[in-house]
Structure 1
Amino acid sequence: MKRSLTSVAVVAALAMASAACSSSDSGTAGPIKVGSINGVTGLFQTPEVPQAVKAVFDEVNKQGGVNGRQIELVSKDDAMNPQRSTEAALELLESENVVALVGSSSAVDCGLNRATYSNAGIISMPAVGVDPACFTSPNIAPVNPGPFKLITAMLYYASETLKRDKVCMYYTVLPGSGGGIDAAIKEWTDITGKQLAVKDTSVGQGDPTPYLVKAKAAGCQAILYNATVGPWFAQAKTQGMQDVDFIVAANSYTDANAQAIPDGLNVYAGTEWQPYTDESLPGNERWAKIIDENKIQKTAFSQGAVMAADLFVQVLKTIKGDITRESVTEAFKNMKPIDYPMVGTPWIFGPGEAHSPIEGSRFVKVEAGKWKVLPEGFIVPGKN
């Protein structure tokens, strides 16, 4: 029996529609595509982050994937270039049809693309949240405390653990970060009732002597500092500031910086995750296994990458039915808090208009050119 042209056209149309559905983010066939925007090149380079996220996904894929589907990471390098970052987000959402963004580590992504993510109904869980917008957007929830919650923890550690009365800040401020720093200081003041003795956010990369002379004259007992390590601490020793507690930000927590700090100075660093230099700490064994097996550079940022990927997979496995952008977003908006041993507080996305779920910091101190993990555990302001 011959088919009519009309029936043939209908069958063809249904077949095309079925193929289109199965290849988009709303179908169950093919891989689960997950996006990420990272600084692989440029001023803020974190190539180890997408490598670590992919390593976790590869591990899951070898075990059969999620609901029988493989997870495919599509990482875009924005090189800290605003135009490239916005283009990367659009490519991931429109061309790649990703269901979520996981493990991003761009310094400009959140501020540029927050509205895009909200309009698209997609969630982003950065491995490294830097910009204030990472923590004040309805569809973004990083897995790190970020520089501002870390400042609050550093101030709290100086005044409440080290018992310093005159706490000072000498910082280099990135464009757009001033408000976040002010909010972090206010949070510390609200908790403790204390004020900074000196606040200077104009520290440059030149001669640190004028700043240190000023700090010494002001009687600073503890100093928060976030710029270049070597010259600052060489001059601090010259100035005879061995009785001052210096607390550096997480970006200074590297083996090279520990070696550059002269003996005799009291230098601490606040960390966002368990200190990566001690692989025996809770959560670090899992991270070190992934990193070692895949020959990835060991950094604190790669800790955030493994954590973001682990949490994503855990929530993904709770989804019943199709894994789509819509079902993934719904799952994260309605999830319960997850305890992850690498950080100080449970992580949750949730339905709010802003997300800053991780608080607190662990502290390390330089001894003989190496970082020593201090025994207090995570310092969560107002809670210990």
Structure 2
Amino acid sequence: MPINLKGLAIGLFLTLISAFSANAAASCGDSTGKPATGEPIIIGAITGKTGPDDFSNSTKSAKAYFDCLNANGGIKGRPVKYMIEDDQWNPEIAAQLAAKLVNDQKAVLMVGNSSYVECGANAELYKKAGILVLAGVGVPRECFFADNIAPTNAGPRVSMLGAMGYALDKLHAKSVVCIAPNIPNVGTWSCDGVALLAKEKGFAAQTILMDPGSADATSVILQAAASKPDVIVLGLSKGVAVPLLTAAEEQGLNRSITFLSAASAYDLSVPSTIGSSWDGKFYVNMEFNDLEATTSDNQNWLAVMDQYGQKSDPRDTFAQAGYLAARVAEKALMSLDPANINRETASAAVKQIKGFKSDIFCAPWYFGDGQTRHNANSTTRMAVAEGGKWKVVSDCAPSPDPELKDIRAFEKSAGLN
């Protein structure tokens, strides 16, 4: 009997090791292990890599997935040629790059886009050219109110209002200051949502718009603290938000005011960077699952990043967004005859996606064929900084953004989510 138990234990151990190894390997496409060698499929992307902050994590992750896909048979034998351009946070450059990718390179889709300026600059071009954009990270309002652009993320307004809803329900806040960038249709749009929710719920709200490239962090924070709000909610990229938190701590404001942020600050490095004095004092909205979730698709995303990305590529919420955008594109293209993949067929295939499931999403993603605007991801979680890490503190909850009424009505009529 002891021998049998020992053998059973060894067998179980080997089985677990085998299972772990299988889970640790990135899974992409048909998982053939054979490189795709056919005619490339051109997919483009525009991101803001250089400027006030590096905002290119979505495209880095999408590239890692496409590299993994190409190493495993591609789209039925055809590799994806993923062309990424940097708009430098400049609308004019963004327009030039979009014309290059769409008109000159003849891209069939745009995938993983992440920019503060390119949606506003290019929405009309995309519509005129008949090309769909599976954006990773939509930021300005135009990314969510355009016929041909469908982001996988929730967006700064929906995310900030998810955080604000948590502050009202769980932190019992009665006053807020909203801080966001003074970028057209970004900061005003987001903070207007906070103000609208404040009006509906009967609490006080103020807005501060700042220049993300040159504003003095201490001045901004002191201005925000002047009204002695219960909470301050940030709608800024990580590289801009962290200096504000540092300035707030220097003024001792973290002892009297609770800070919250849109998902842009949800990065594994942030809790340790800002330090233990922010434990229980800095909350972030999560547009996707816990970055370290042990669920299968989240683990596959991490495996893809480890095997096909760079060690320096952040494992953050925007990288999750790019991975998901690439996965949606793969699903659409895999439904087509590989000999007949072009802009028209690719767009038609994307429009048919109605229930893309991933454990990274709170709810299945859909394109919304026929809709003039797209915001399928509008159900989010919350986390708080604690002990140098993020601690998830809420289940998935619909964002209380009043502007989502049309989205909720469409989902109900179409039987979605």
Normalised by the shorter chain, which TM-score bucket?
A: 0.7 to 0.9
Provide closer, same or farther for how the CA distance between residues 292 and 114 of structure 1 changes in structure 2, counting only shifts above 3 A: same
TM-score for both structures, normalised by structure 1: 0.81
Asked if 2 retains the 8 angstrom alpha-carbon contact of 1:53 and 1:306, the reply is: yes
* Equivalent position SS for 2:190: helix
Query: Is 1:342 aligned with 2:370?
Result: no
5+ residue gaps, structure 1: 1-28
1:361 equivalent in alignment to 2:398: no
- What does residue 207 of structure 1 align with? 218
1:98 aligns with 2:107: yes
Q: For structure 1, which segment, 201-210 or 316-325, has the greater mean C-alpha deviation from structure 2 after superposition?
A: 201-210
Q: Please report how far the alpha carbon of residue 254 of structure 1 lies from its aligned counterpart in structure 2 after TM superposition.
A: 3.5
- How far apart in 2 are the matches of 1:291 and 1:214? 43
Q: Deviations over 1:285-318 (max 9, x none)?
A: 1110011112421232221111110111012122
Name 1:285's counterpart in structure 2. 299
CA distance in 2, matches of 1:44, 1:261: 18
Shift of 1:45: 2.1
State whether structure 2 residue 107 is matched by structure 1 residue 107.
no
Corresponding residue for residue 128 of structure 1: 137
Measured at CA, do residues 187 and 153 of structure 1 come closer, stay the same or move farther in structure 2, by a change above 3 Å?
farther
User: 1:102: Cα distance to partner?
Assistant: 0.6
Contact 2:179 2:232 in 1 (8 A): yes
Give the drift of 1:244: 3.4
Take 1:198 and 1:374, find their aligned partners in 2: how far apart are those partners? 26
Please give the TM-score of this superposition, normalised by the length of structure 2.
0.75
Q: How many residues align?
A: 348
Match of 2:348 in 1: 330
Which residue number in structure 1 is paired with residue 264 of structure 2?
A: 251
Instruction: State the percentage of identical aligned residues.
Output: 25
Q: In structure 1, how many angstroms separate the alpha carbons of the residues matched to 2:183 and 2:203?
A: 20
| Residue 70 (structure 1) aligns with | 79
CA distance in 2, matches of 1:86, 1:44: 20
Q: Name the counterpart of 1:180.
A: 189
The aligned amino acid for 1:214 is A
The answer for the alignment partner of 1:13 in structure 2 is none
Cα 1:174–1:330, aligned 2, differ >3 Å: closer, same or farther?
Answer: same
Q: Which has the larger radius of gyration?
A: 1
Q: Which residue of 2 aligns with 1:372?
A: 390
Residues 83-142 of structure 1: CA distance to partner in whole angstroms, max 9, x if unpaired?
Answer: 321121111122211111011122221111110010011100111111211110000001
Equivalent residues of 1:36, 1:104 under 8 A apart: yes
- Give distance in 2, aligned partners of 1:186 and 1:234: 25
197 and 283 in structure 1: CA distance in 2 versus 1, 3 angstrom threshold: farther
Equivalent AA in structure 2 for residue 242 of structure 1: R
Please say if residues 159 and 399 of structure 2, whose CA atoms lie closer than 8 Å, have aligned partners that are also in contact: no
SS of aligned partner of 2:45: strand
**Residue pairs, 1:6-25, within 5 angstroms:** none
Match of 2:326 among 286, 297, 309: 309
Q: For the Cα contact (< 8 Å) 1:279–1:288, is it kept in 2?
A: no
Give the 3 Å change call, closer, same or farther, for CA 46–189 of structure 1 in structure 2.
closer
Task: Give 2:104's aligned amino acid.
Answer: S
The residue correspondences of 1:121-270 to structure 2 (distance < 5 A) are 121-182=130-191, 184-185=193-194, 188=197, 193-202=200-209, 204-208=215-219, 210-211=222-223, 213-216=225-228, 220-225=229-234, 226=236, 228-230=241-243, 232=245, 235-236=248-249, 238-239=251-252, 242-261=255-274, 263-265=276-278, 266-270=281-285
Shift in Å, 1:47: 4.3
Question: What amino acid sits opposite 1:303 in the alignment?
Answer: Q
Q: Which whole-Å CA distance do the structure 2 matches of 1:333 and 1:213 have between them?
A: 46
Task: Confirm or deny: 8 A CA contact 2:268 2:316 kept in the other structure.
Answer: no
SS for the counterpart of 1:199 is: strand
In the other structure, the counterpart of 1:11 is none
Partner of 1:42: 51
Residue 201 of structure 1 deviates from its aligned partner by 1.6
